[in-house]
Amino acid sequence: MTLVYFPTPKQQPKQRSRPAILVAQSAWQLALRFGKRTTIHGLDRLLSARASRWERFVWLCTFVSAFLGAVYVCLILSARYNAAHFQTVVDSTRYPVYRIPFPVITICNRNRLNWQRLTEAKSMFMANVTDSAQLSLFERIVGSYDDAYFGHFQSFEQLRNQPTEMMNYINFSQVVDFMTWRCDELLADCLWRHYAYNCCEIFFKRRSKNGLCWAFNSLETEEGRRMQLLDPMWPWRTGSAGPMSALSARVLIQSSKHWPGSKDKNAMKGIDVMVTEPFVWHNNPFYIPANTETTLEIEPIIYFYDNDTRGVRSDQRQCVFDLWWNCRTVSWLLLNKWHGVGLLFVY
């Protein structure tokens, strides 16, 4: 038997299909025609029909480097634009002050509760309870609210490992509302532009970061909105300046009615005062100690915002949009000196 070896035939290189060749040729011709007419610097030399292979390579490197450099510069400018601070523009220095509503003045006693009503609160919210342990726990829980404010709840640390589940049936928001200072217990001798007013007719209870406080010229409460319906000039305004040109009030500290379990009975005597526009919560109130006569001078600076602020991230514009409120780019109205708010504090 004779064996014969037949070598494997060499594979022929695959040829591109005719349509693919036509597409490539058409694309190259289109690029050449574009290179003859374009005004982009360097691209005309890259796509020139008379350019050699090395010349095209040099211009390709040059064009790609220039393009990447332009992209890098654009990214830097974009980052600078997005990180830029808001620009402040003085819109007017002669705008009449009397057209601007007087700001909301909110007064909070640093000792939040009137402990003279503790016995009444126990009889109201723990009517059938005689267990001394439960009554003592109730008093400790209420005492934790006496100096608490939003974001700082260290006073509740004393309730750790305490059987607070025994008080689950009590709504302590209602307890605090019942024991908070009433208007006639906190405010007296109110004057508005030299005219005497009943403090309880112009101050309304309002929630704030410092708890339940009393606010003048407010629209956040039902009483304030009702006042606006009865008085078309509410919130009130003033066009004069200087002492006694706006609000004056006497704040009654009444330290004998403060929480007897307070750690330092003298450190927290006084009030916090917030001066804000309507529907705004003050971040850092003014602390005014007891036994002082204080005048707060208010600059009538009004802030306006541009709708383009929506294009800026919330962490940069430092505000959050709501359904009824537009956050806008700041422009100021700088006006003449405003009024003073005179506050006299006594025990």
Domain count, the chain: 3
- Based on the fold, state whether residues 218 and 308 are members of the same structural domain: yes
- Based on the fold, state whether residues 172 and 249 are members of the same structural domain: no
- Based on the fold, state whether residues 194 and 272 are members of the same structural domain: yes
Residue 20 included in any domain = no
Place of tokens 């602020």: 309
Final residue in a domain of this structure, among 179, 198, 232: 179
Q: Which residues does the chain have with pLDDT short of 50? A: 323-347
Residue 190 included in any domain = yes
Boundaries of domain holding 155: 114-179
Residue 111 corresponds to which tokens in the numbers above? 């000792």
Final residue in a domain of this structure, among 156, 179, 202: 179
Q: How many CA atoms are closer than 13 Å to the CA of 234, on its beta-carbon side?
A: 17
- Based on the fold, state whether residues 259 and 334 are members of the same structural domain: yes
Q: How many CA atoms are closer than 13 Å to the CA of 273, on its beta-carbon side?
A: 25
Distance CA 334, CA 324 (A): 26
- Based on the fold, state whether residues 191 and 290 are members of the same structural domain: yes
Task: Find, among 152, 118, 112, 155, the residue nearest to 135 by Cα.
Answer: 118
Residue 229 included in any domain = yes
- Based on the fold, state whether residues 150 and 228 are members of the same structural domain: no
Q: Give, rounded to a whole angstrom, the gap between the first and last alpha carbons of the chain.
A: 131
- Based on the fold, state whether residues 232 and 193 are members of the same structural domain: yes
- Based on the fold, state whether residues 226 and 281 are members of the same structural domain: yes
Residue 238 included in any domain = yes
Residue 88 included in any domain = no
- Based on the fold, state whether residues 272 and 200 are members of the same structural domain: yes
Give the global pTM. Answer: 0.63
Residue 72 confidence (pLDDT): 93
Residues 6+ apart with CB under 8 A from 293: 342, 343, 344, 345
- Based on the fold, state whether residues 200 and 225 are members of the same structural domain: yes
Residue 203 confidence (pLDDT): 93
Residue 216 vs residues 19, 211, 283: alpha-carbon distances, Å:
83, 16, 18
Task: Find, among 142, 102, 331, the residue nearest to 239 by Cα.
Answer: 102
Residue 89 included in any domain = no
Angle in degrees, CA 238, 243, 247, rounded to 5: 50
